[in-house]
Amino acid sequence: MSLDLFITGTDTAVGKTWVTLGIMAALQTSGASAIGMKPVASGCRSTGAGLRNEDAERLLHQSSVPTPYDLVNPFAFAPAIAPHIAAAEIGRDISLAKIASCYRALTGLADHCVVEGVGGWLVPLTATETVADLARHLGLPVILVVGIRLGCLNHALLSVAGIRHGGNRLLGWVANHTEPDMARSEENILTLETRIDAPLLATIPWLSEPSVADFAGRLTIIERIFSQQRR
């Protein structure tokens, strides 16, 4: 049985994909196999093989085993807009059952499957369901990526409240600096540490040219957490 994670964020463009890639790489460095999944993606480009999302392709490239794209990203939309709106425009429904079926297929291929959500915790996926419902449907513990920038305190605490309210397990959070010169960033992180009842797993500095290795080197704690769960 694989040990898996759901990665969400306080907003879009806070580094969810980098954290997902870093966790996968850290697990792989420890000797485990890992596979990535981005079930829903907007802003996809058209190719001869169909719509393709850059983040999903990066997860595919990082994965330990070759994987069909449609399992990694079963719902791909061209417009860079909220997925439920993109889906409605083409008359397609985002199905949590379909995502769960793809997820189950992936879990049989590697020791770990790391699932990256779209946008933030309460981004709508259908008329009645959100990213939160997807995480609950898959039954996965959650890691919250907090984009360290102005407004992060409110965004992070609201996200944590939403995760707790839904009964999801918050495994921890990652502080990712998304700007080079945010004033009082350390004080903001300390404030969140005192208010979030889950461990700060890593603090990622501002990186003008980030790499998977940069994130993996700061996320080695993930392997230790999984080692404890295996016992």
The model's confidence at residue 108, banded by pLDDT at 50, 70 and 90, is very high
pLDDT of 148-169, one tens digit each? 999 999 999 999 999 999 899 9
Binding site, annotated residues for substrate = 42
In this predicted structure, the answer to whether residue 129 has a pLDDT above a threshold of 50 is: yes
Using alpha carbons only, give the angle 53, 96, 92 rounded to the nearest 5 degrees.
Answer: 65
Mean pLDDT for the stretch of residues 168-182: 95
Structure confidence at residue 229 (pLDDT): 61
Structure confidence at residue 120 (pLDDT): 97
In this predicted structure, the answer to whether residue 231 has a pLDDT above a threshold of 60 is: no
Binding site, annotated residues = 17, 42, 55, 116-119, 176-177, 205-207
What is the per-residue DSSP string for 55-99?
A: HHHHHHHHSSS---HHHH-SEE-SSSS-HHHHHHHTT----HHHH
The set of residues, in sequence order, having a beta carbon less than 8 Å from that of 25 and lying 6+ positions away, is 34, 62, 212, 213, 215, 216
The set of residues, in sequence order, having a beta carbon less than 8 Å from that of 8 and lying 6+ positions away, is 16, 117, 120, 121, 131, 135, 142, 143, 144, 145, 159, 163
Per the listing, tokens 């397609």 go with: 92
Structure confidence at residue 3 (pLDDT): 81
Query: Exposed/middle/buried for 3, CB within 10 Å: 0-12, 13-18, 19+?
Result: middle
For each of the domains in the chain, give its residue range(s) and CATH number, in order of start.
5-34+96-230 (3.40.50.300)
Mean pLDDT for the stretch of residues 169-192: 96
Best CA proximity match to 39, nearest among 70, 14, 12: 70
Structure confidence at residue 230 (pLDDT): 58
Structure confidence at residue 222 (pLDDT): 85
Binding site, annotated residues for Mg(2+) = 17, 55, 116
pLDDT of 18-40, one tens digit each? 999 999 999 999 999 999 999 99
Structure confidence at residue 220 (pLDDT): 87
H or E element in which residue 145 lies: strand 142-148
How many Å apart are CA 153 and CA 37, to the nearest integer? 28
Which residues does the annotation mark as catalytic?
38
Structure confidence at residue 21 (pLDDT): 98
Structural contact between residues 145 and 16, judged by C-beta atoms closer than 8 angstroms? yes
β-pair type (50-52, 45-47): antiparallel
Binding site, annotated residues for ATP = 55, 116-119, 176-177, 205-207
In this predicted structure, the answer to whether residue 195 has a pLDDT above a threshold of 80 is: yes
